[in-house]
């Protein structure tokens, strides 16, 4: 494609529809006998999104390849039995009820890093985090597989994205000085190898904790810390906003 940017300044590919052959990638992926995990959170008002997300993800996320879905929820009893593809598995993990979505936003990095250390590293090769309040509308295939994967936010394609993006306050651990960021990434869809996702979530968790101790909340909670981490630890693959478009824009 010549109408979009397909390579970053540090030579990481940017994946757009039409820039890869899914058949070739599928054949390579099958030979490696890999298992991919998906982490998502459904707490309080987000519980009703579970069925729609799971049905679409079961159908479209790495279809035909083994996927473990890890659903964290404060209402495990409300998760109805879902018929999954034979190669997929759903694991419902109870999580503490918090007083608001901001609390989950600032805690999920810590939760994911803790579970990677205790469990996920033994069960999956790659791990992706996705928000629950979406439905997949088309196939997301093995073109997303790489060591450290981030999705460019659709904000980047709105007028003056710099006004909406980075955390400007220098006292926050998520602060990015004006003009230093190259891409703005959404926390709604990121992932990579288990080891790289562990490093990312652990670093973001520590930054969030330090901010909390200092009475600071970054502009976009965990997303601000994600962007700070990825500024200094460049993703090895970027997904275009096609993979997670904000319909409210």
Location of structure tokens 């992932």: 191
Catalytic residue among 44, 178, 223, 248: 223
Annotated binding residue at 42?
yes
- The total of other beta-carbon atoms located within 10 Å of residue 105's CB is 19
Annotated binding residue at 185?
no
Annotated binding residue at 223?
yes
Contact 82, 51 (CB under 8 A): yes
Annotated binding residue at 46?
yes
Residue 100's DSSP bridge partners are none
Q: What b/e sequence results for 9-29 when a residue is b if at least 16 CB atoms lie within 10 Å of its CB, and e otherwise?
A: eeebbbbbeeeeeeeeebeeb
Angle at 144 between CA 139 and CA 147, to 5 degrees: 160
Annotated binding residue at 43?
yes
- Residues ≥6 apart with Cβ < 8 Å to 202: 109, 113
d(CA 68, CA 82): 14
Active site residue 180: no
User: Annotated binding residues, as ranges?
Assistant: 41-43, 46, 131, 223, 246
Active site residues: 223
User: Annotated binding residues for Mn(2+), as ranges?
Assistant: 131
User: Annotated binding residues for UDP-N-acetyl-alpha-D-galactosamine, as ranges?
Assistant: 41-43, 46
């Amino acid at each position: 494609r010549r109408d979009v940017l397909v390579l970053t300044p540090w030579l990481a590919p940017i994946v757009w529809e039409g820039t890869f052959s899914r058949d070739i990638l599928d054949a390579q992926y099958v030979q490696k006998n890999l298992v991919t995990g998906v982490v998502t959170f459904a707490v309080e008002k987000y519980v009703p999104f579970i069925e729609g997300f799971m049905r679409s993800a079961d159908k479209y996320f790495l279809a035909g390849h083994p996927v473990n879905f890890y659903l964290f929820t404060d209402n495990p009893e409300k998760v109805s039995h879902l018929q999954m593809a034979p190669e997929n598995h759903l694991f419902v993990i109870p999580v503490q009820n918090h007083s608001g979505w901001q609390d989950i936003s600032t805690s999920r990095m810590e939760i994911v890093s803790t579970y990677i250390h205790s469990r996920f590293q033994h069960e999956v090769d790659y791990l992706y985090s996705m928000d629950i309040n979406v439905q997949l509308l088309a196939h997301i295939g093995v073109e997303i597989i790489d060591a450290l994967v981030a999705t460019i936010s659709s904000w980047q394609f709105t007028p003056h994205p710099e006004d909406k993006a980075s955390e400007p306050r220098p006292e926050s651990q998520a602060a990015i000085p004006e003009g230093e960021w190259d891409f703005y990434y959404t926390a709604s869809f990121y992932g990579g190898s288990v080891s790289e996702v562990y490093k990312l979530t652990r670093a973001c968790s520590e930054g969030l904790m330090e901010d909390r101790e200092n009475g600071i909340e970054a502009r976009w909670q965990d997303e601000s810390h994600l962007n700070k981490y990825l500024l200094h630890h460049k993703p090895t693959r970027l997904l275009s906003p096609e993979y997670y478009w904000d319909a409210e824009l």
